[in-house]
A = this chain, B = another copy of it.
Amino acid sequence: MVHKIIIAFVIFTPLVLSTVINKVEKCNLPFSIKKEIESYKGFVTKIINSVNNQFKHSTYNHLDDFINAYGNRIAGSKNLENAIDYILRKSDLYNLENVHGEEVQVPRWVRGKESATLLYPLYKDLPMLGLGSSVGTPLEGIRAKAVVVSSFDELHKLSKILKGKIVVYNEKYSHYKETVVYRSDGASIASQYGAVATLIGSITPLSLATPHTGWQQYAENITKIPTACITKEDANLLHGMYKRGKPIYIEIKMEARTLTSAISRNIIAEIMGNKLPDKVVVVSGHIDSWDVGEGAIDDGVGAFISWNALAILKALGLTARRTIRTILWTAEEEGYIGAFAYAKAHQNETKNLDFVMESDTGIFTPLSFTYGGLPEVGCILQEILNLFTETNITNIQLSIDGGPDISKWISDGVPGAALFGNLEQYFWYHHSAADTMVAVQPDALDEVTALWAAVSFIIADLSFDMPKHLTSYEFKENDI
- On A, residues with C-beta under 8 Å from B are 64, 67-68, 71, 122, 127, 206-210, 231-233, 236-237, 240-241, 244, 293-294, 428-429, 432-434, 436-438
Say yes or no: B122 contacts A71, CB within 8 Å.
Answer: yes
Say yes or no: A436 contacts B233, CB within 8 Å.
Answer: yes
* Distance to closest chain B CB from A60 (angstroms): 12
A293 to B210, CA, bound (A): 12
A124 to B64, CA, bound (A): 18
4 closest A-B pairs by beta carbon, nearest first, are: A209-B433, A208-B208, A208-B434, A209-B434
A68 to B124, CA, bound (A): 13
> 25 A-B pairs, CB-CB below 8 angstroms?
A64-B240, A67-B240, A68-B240, A68-B244, A206-B208, A207-B434, A207-B438, A208-B208, A208-B209, A208-B432, A209-B210, A209-B293, A209-B433, A209-B434, A209-B436, A210-B210, A232-B438, A233-B293, A233-B294, A233-B436, A233-B438, A236-B437, A236-B438, A237-B294, A237-B436
A240 to B71, CA, bound (A): 12
Known A208-B209, A232-B438; further 13 A-B contacts with Cβ < 8 A? A67-B240, A68-B244, A208-B428, A208-B429, A208-B432, A208-B434, A209-B210, A209-B433, A209-B434, A210-B434, A233-B438, A236-B438, A237-B294
Query: Which residue on chain B has the smallest CB distance to residue A67?
Result: B240
Q: Which residues of B contact A209 (CB under 8 A)?
A: 208, 210, 293, 432-434, 436
Q: Which residues of B contact A293 (CB under 8 A)?
A: 209, 233
With A68-B244, A122-B71, A241-B68 in contact, is A436–B210 under 8 Å at CB? no
A250 to B327, CA, bound (A): 38
A237 to B433, CA, bound (A): 12
A68 to B68, CA, bound (A): 41
A67 to B244, CA, bound (A): 12
* Distance to closest chain B CB from A201 (angstroms): 9
* Distance to closest chain B CB from A305 (angstroms): 20
